A and B are shown apart, each in its own frame.
Chain A
Amino acid sequence: MNAGTDNAVALEVVDLAFSYGAKPALEDVSFAVSPGEFKVLLGPNGAGKTTLFSLITRLYDSRQGRITVEGWDLRGHTRRALANMGVVFQLPTLDLDLSVRQNLLYHAALHGMDRARALERIEVELGRLGMAERKHEKTRRLNGGHRRRVEIARALLHEPHLLLLDEPTVGLDVPTRRDIVEHVHRLARDDGIAVLWATHLIDEISDDDSVIVLHEGRIRADGGVAEVSAAAGASDVGGAFDRLTGGPS
């Protein structure tokens, strides 16, 4: 499929494999994320989550397997696929010397938005995160949680249908983490955005999310929370995660 017609699936990954030299990082990875679905990519550190994100955002390329975004093949229609995608990387990516608004305008320019539209969208997305008042502040002056909110606002500026977040709550305090997790759940539920959320923190998963457990580059489970727990013979998703990844029992 590369014609961009399949809107039933926001992101589809089929038989993806990738290695760093001789060292395999991902093998036989296949899954899909539908519009409005909040899919948690759960895996311990080193499982291959960031590699998978780098492949989906085409920072890296893999000749084995296929990735499509709303039906657009990532290799054949890279720009259409990327235009439908919003990304929050694990590492901070804001320019600390610029203000919040300048950072967001830069992103809007990269996505070809005109200034009036960009300013309008900046107000909307910052407003939803309670950050509209701080748009003229230098990002250096914001705390970690507020910087993350700005990055989420930025990822949504061009109204993507697919939102990728790579461990977005690392280093944040519990209330901030909870706010961000809830906000992104609302984006999926209310706006129909397909979300792929990588984490190794079990408490970020809600009962109605779907979960992929990734361990040592392979998918160990994929399904609803209850389904994955039952299949692993565990009482909850935390137990399932431990069993599937050989963690504490």
Chain B
Amino acid sequence: MTAVHAWRCLVGVLIREALRFVQQRERFVAALVRPLVWLIIFTAGFRAALGVSIIEPYQTYIPYEVYIVPGLIGMVQLFNGMQSSLSMVYDREMGSMRTLLVSPLPRWYLLICKLLAGTLVSVLQVYTFLLIAGLFGITMPASGYFWVLPALVVCGLMLGVFAMLLSSVIKQLENFAGIMNFVIFPMFFLSSALYPLWKMRESSDLLYRISAANPFTHGVELIRFALYGRFNGDAAIFTVAALAVFLALAIYAYDPARGMMSRKGGPGG
């Protein structure tokens, strides 16, 4: 693999994903409407039920809609990751993943290109979401919009690679509904996205422990701190470690010599 070839491949995959992003407007709108419904409707009803005391990184009492923004950013990235996972299952069924995988480049590199492209799209979605949230008066410190970028990249990669791993295990598109119920919702609700973990601990120590071990929680906390110009070291370590583990497993799963692909039953013909 020459550096020039690798670079052209990366640019090609990024351009393709960006073009698809621009041309699939419904996908873009859906990606924004989902968190905005939560931000505007859910928080209106939930605000009264949940008092958020002063916790880091906040320095004062904050309204619930401010608390929930990092969680909703995580939601945007989680759904985008799952969407690209869906597109990979779909791609593989429809065959265009094959086009990528028979390219004369190492497979791990091709998967990383695909992953970076998905993360790029999720970062674009998040900034659009933050812009609209800003129009509703929900703003962060100005520098937070800059510092959140690396956190978005790390969290987006972690969730993207998690989804990629899932896509290697899902055989049929229909199973994706099951993934929504058994993976996305538990991952989202068993996290600090909607409520601080100490609230969770008050009701169930077990659920608290599960939530504290959930990589999504750490991704959300990394984003939450970054939005206030703070670096959450524990969350960063946990998120990067989860990224590394998921990536190793995904590369393994997509390796033709060892992985899941060839064990999952043959094609016709």
CA A110 to CA B16, docked complex, whole Å: 11
**Contact between A110 and B12, CB atoms less than 8 A apart:** yes
At the interface, yes or no: B45 with Cβ under 8 Å from chain A? no
> Mask for A203-230, Cβ within 8 A of B = 1, else 0?
0000000000000000000000000000
**Contact between B99 and A110, CB atoms less than 8 A apart:** yes
**Contact between A51 and B266, CB atoms less than 8 A apart:** yes
CA A114 to CA B98, docked complex, whole Å: 22
Q: Which of A8-31 contact B (CB under 8 A)?
A: 18, 20-21, 23, 25
At the interface, yes or no: A188 with Cβ under 8 Å from chain B? no
**Contact between A95 and B20, CB atoms less than 8 A apart:** yes
> Mask for B63-105, Cβ within 8 A of A = 1, else 0?
0000000000000000000000000000001111011111111
- CB of A143 to closest CB in B, whole Å: 17
Q: Which of A33-59 contact B (CB under 8 A)?
A: 43, 45-51, 54, 57-59
Q: Which of A91-120 contact B (CB under 8 A)?
A: 91-95, 97-98, 102, 105-114
Q: Which of B6-52 contact A (CB under 8 A)?
A: 6, 8-9, 11-13, 15-16, 19-20, 23-24
Q: A50-B268, A91-B94, A110-B9 are in contact. Are A59 and B23 (CB under 8 A)?
A: no
At the interface, yes or no: B4 with Cβ under 8 Å from chain A? yes
**Contact between B268 and A46, CB atoms less than 8 A apart:** yes
- CB of A40 to closest CB in B, whole Å: 14
**Contact between B95 and A89, CB atoms less than 8 A apart:** yes
CA A241 to CA B4, docked complex, whole Å: 48
**Contact between A112 and B269, CB atoms less than 8 A apart:** no
Q: Which residues of A contact B16 (CB under 8 A)?
A: 95, 98, 102, 106
Point out which of B13, B267, B268 has the most chain A C-beta atoms below 10 A from its C-beta. B267
**Contact between B103 and A110, CB atoms less than 8 A apart:** yes
Between A and B, how many residue pairs show CB distances below 8 Å? 125
At the interface, yes or no: A82 with Cβ under 8 Å from chain B? yes
CA A79 to CA B2, docked complex, whole Å: 11
Q: Which residues of A contact B137 (CB under 8 A)?
A: none
**Contact partner, A60, options B12, B94, B106, B262, Cβ 8 Å:** B262
- CB of B117 to closest CB in A, whole Å: 11
**Contact between A112 and B5, CB atoms less than 8 A apart:** yes
At the interface, yes or no: A83 with Cβ under 8 Å from chain B? yes
CA A48 to CA B22, docked complex, whole Å: 40
At the interface, yes or no: B178 with Cβ under 8 Å from chain A? no
Q: Which residues of B contact A108 (CB under 8 A)?
A: 12
Q: Which residues of B contact A2 (CB under 8 A)?
A: none
At the interface, yes or no: A73 with Cβ under 8 Å from chain B? no
- CB of B266 to closest CB in A, whole Å: 5
CA A75 to CA B99, docked complex, whole Å: 18
At the interface, yes or no: B150 with Cβ under 8 Å from chain A? no
**Contact between B96 and A93, CB atoms less than 8 A apart:** yes
**Contact partner, A82, options B4, B23, B104, Cβ 8 Å:** B104
30 contacts between A and B (CB under 8 A): A23-B266, A45-B269, A47-B269, A50-B266, A51-B266, A54-B262, A57-B98, A59-B101, A59-B256, A61-B256, A61-B262, A79-B106, A90-B95, A91-B98, A93-B96, A93-B99, A95-B96, A97-B19, A97-B20, A97-B24, A98-B19, A102-B16, A105-B12, A106-B12, A110-B9, A110-B103, A111-B103, A111-B104, A112-B6, A167-B269
B residues at A contact (CB < 8 Å): 1-2, 4-6, 8-9, 11-13, 15-16, 19-20, 23-24, 93-96, 98-106, 256-257, 261-263, 265-269
The 9 closest A-B pairs by CB, nearest first: A109-B12, A112-B5, A50-B269, A91-B95, A93-B95, A83-B104, A110-B103, A60-B262, A61-B256
Other A-B pairs beyond A43-B269, A90-B269, A105-B15, 10, CB < 8 Å: A45-B268, A57-B98, A57-B102, A79-B104, A80-B104, A82-B104, A85-B102, A92-B95, A95-B16, A112-B6
